[in-house]
Chains A and B, each alone.
Chain A
């Protein structure tokens, strides 16, 4: 028995030895896993499944990517796990949502920050928009702000929660228009916030462009403005906030992409950074994303690093007032 154990440990030792000597030239040698910190069926999960569906192709990674959901506490559970427990072996990928995780790390109480992760590539950008019910008297952002000026603090509007893109957009709107608004965070995420608008529980709401686009197609809402630098292809008729005279940039845009934990070997990061953006460009992926009303925005690792740093700075400033 003892001999057997000795032999087994020898074998194990040589195995690990071989692995560490490896220059990762054959990576990936087995299927990969991607952690999504939101539940199955949510927008992030849905998009993650589409953009990774061609991973098994020969011109991509050559190995499939399986999605693992770790939902809870607005994404904190998943990202905490990813920062502290996920193995940095290149086989454990994660999906990020900007500005959510950076805003949460500034707020505190979590064991991650932008430094805990290494971005690989960005696949999507879902700007926030301002919606009102289809029968609302408001027809432009000017109407909304005028109402808020006459009734300070009484303009109720919903969003998906605190320290997420919608909340950032709300803070930016308050600051740019110089008015006091009543932001009502919803515990059921974007869908709950949208329901509050359609049912008339609140006067307006900040929501995801993709969900708002669908709700408008169904005839339930009007979209008054986009919290982004330029108009969106899905909504060419809706002006940006800047066009309507509010100094608001793209800090609230919900960027989604792929990252790995800090400590992942550099050759693996380089390989992923080169392959993954190409994988996102696949025609089938683009078709499915467009069909689902999800705007794509592919960025390389260098661009994402720059975007993370810029976000960190704006959010620090915006949230310090809270």
Chain B
């Protein structure tokens, strides 16, 4: 309960002003395509040079929480996921916005973010020592199995066909091998300097999601019927709150998956949203509605990616190891004020530590209030004529890809992947499994290589990867996930063939 004692520090005039700047600035930066939370926080670090440690961290903490939520804005309105965390949000969120329900989608996403985010920070406050052990428990073999668990999600993520889902997942896995390999330094598939560092995930995301849509809009641009103005539904906040409250299952799955997977260093943040989306789809009674603008999809994805914010800082704050790229940037922000995370932080600078954590808590609430306030206005983006929209999205896509590493190479990668994806989509492939393959490939590979090096030196591959309670548990979940997918697929098939048979009989009679 120590944190309550320092709550007052957040509300001194200067600190609260910084909190507001961080929150609003974070929302804007987060909504800008290409500016991931990591980059947004890195951009703000120079501003903290002149502030004292507590004030600097309030700014960074508020910005971190709100950029994660802000990423949902471009995911929903423009179908450009701001960061890997927002991929799952595009699936239902953008469809909703296309149907004129953008305001509803944004409200749901901000409310779900608030619930997930507050839960995550609460975990950080009360369970830090326990969580630190959990974060350390995952060695190379466990991370390998976790990545394989992610791969099992690939098939069921694509609603149209399991085989096509798996195929596009394989394309993603192949794309992930391009570049210098992380461990041995071998060069693979480098035919141009632009891909020497591998395919960067942010330009890939922008290309795969935004470009096919831009091409479609340009292609349809000349048809006059397409230009008709979409009516944007107003959606009272009251209704959004009751909707979120009604979807407790999606909300709790999202929050739980987000906080526990998000905690695992290096893996969690990127896949938490997608895994939560997939899990809530599997247990939902309205499974068929997922992908068509269903509220559960948005709620699960957004509560998961904000629930991750608090726990993802646990390894940094307790063990002084940054568990995610954003945590690494925050570490820089702490060091510049001469504060070492770890026991030193809570023992000698409790005011800094707790004020920082409190600022994330209050930041979540402020983020939600501002988000809800602008949701109605932002949703009008859907009324912009297609031709204009396509040009704007294309401009943002180029800007976003370039700004990641100041490299034209990334823009070429974005354009090439996007054009390729346009044709793949014509054949019924979708982008989400492909991106998941791109994310999981390096995790599975690097951990397998590392694990096998350790295994060869100490015992042997079999005992290293296949024994131990955590390995066995993860393997169990992998098997269960595959069996479940196969079973659903078979059941689904039987029904369709039966329906088809009935239809055929009727046609014949």
Contacts and interface: CB of A to CB of B under 8 A. Distances in A.
A157 to B, nearest CB: 10
Contacts of B365: none
A195 B182 CA distance: 17
Given A53-B49, A182-B457, A291 B405 contact: no
B196 interface: yes
Contact of B265 (A42, A187, A195, A293): A195
A80 B407 CA distance: 13
Nearest to B46: A49
Contact of B342 (A74, A104, A163, A217): A217
B319 A220 contact: yes
A1 B319 CA distance: 67
Contact of B406 (A68, A84, A156, A196): A68
A218 B320 contact: yes
Contacts of B39: 40
Nearest to B326: A41
B508 interface: no
Contact of A291 (B196, B337, B407, B454): B337
B183 interface: yes
B177 to A, nearest CB: 13
Contact of A217 (B328, B344, B457): B344
A15 B255 CA distance: 61
A221 to B, nearest CB: 10
A225 B136 CA distance: 25
B453 interface: yes
B461 interface: no
A184 B182 CA distance: 12
A185 B179 CA distance: 17
A201 B185 contact: no
Contacts of B182: 161, 187
Given A40-B42, A191-B322, A218-B342, A292 B335 contact: yes
Nearest to B446: A187
Nearest to A215: B320
Interface string A58-94: 0000000000111111101100110010000000000
Interface string A37-58: 0011110011001100100000
Nearest to B42: A40
A292 B336 contact: yes
A288 B336 contact: yes
Counting chain A CB atoms within 10 Å of each CB, which of B39, B338, B457 scores highest?
B457
A253 interface: no
B441 interface: no
Interface in B216-267: 265-266
A217 B265 contact: no
Contacts of B197: 71-73, 76-77
B6 interface: no
Counting chain A CB atoms within 10 Å of each CB, which of B322, B325, B343 scores highest?
B322
Nearest to B339: A291
B334 to A, nearest CB: 9
Given A41-B332, A73-B197, A109-B187, A186 B450 contact: yes
A198 interface: yes
B16 interface: no
A268 interface: no
A40 B46 CA distance: 12
A242 interface: no
B139 A162 contact: no
A143 interface: no
Interface in B147-193: 179-180, 182-185, 187, 193
B297 interface: no
Given A41-B329, A218-B319, A73 B336 contact: no
Contact of A45 (B185, B266, B332, B406): B332
Given A41-B42, A41-B322, A215-B320, 4 more contacts: A198-B136, A214-B341, A218-B318, A293-B335
Identify the 9 closest CB pairs spanning chains A and B, nearest first: A72-B197, A218-B342, A291-B338, A182-B457, A73-B180, A41-B329, A187-B182, A40-B42, A77-B197
Interface of B: 38-39, 42, 45-46, 49, 136-137, 139-140, 179-180, 182-185, 187, 193, 196-198, 200, 265-266, 315, 318-322, 325, 328-332, 335-338, 340-344, 405-407, 442, 446, 450, 453-454, 456-458
14 contacts: A39-B328, A41-B322, A70-B407, A73-B179, A107-B185, A162-B184, A162-B185, A186-B183, A188-B265, A196-B139, A199-B137, A214-B342, A218-B318, A218-B320
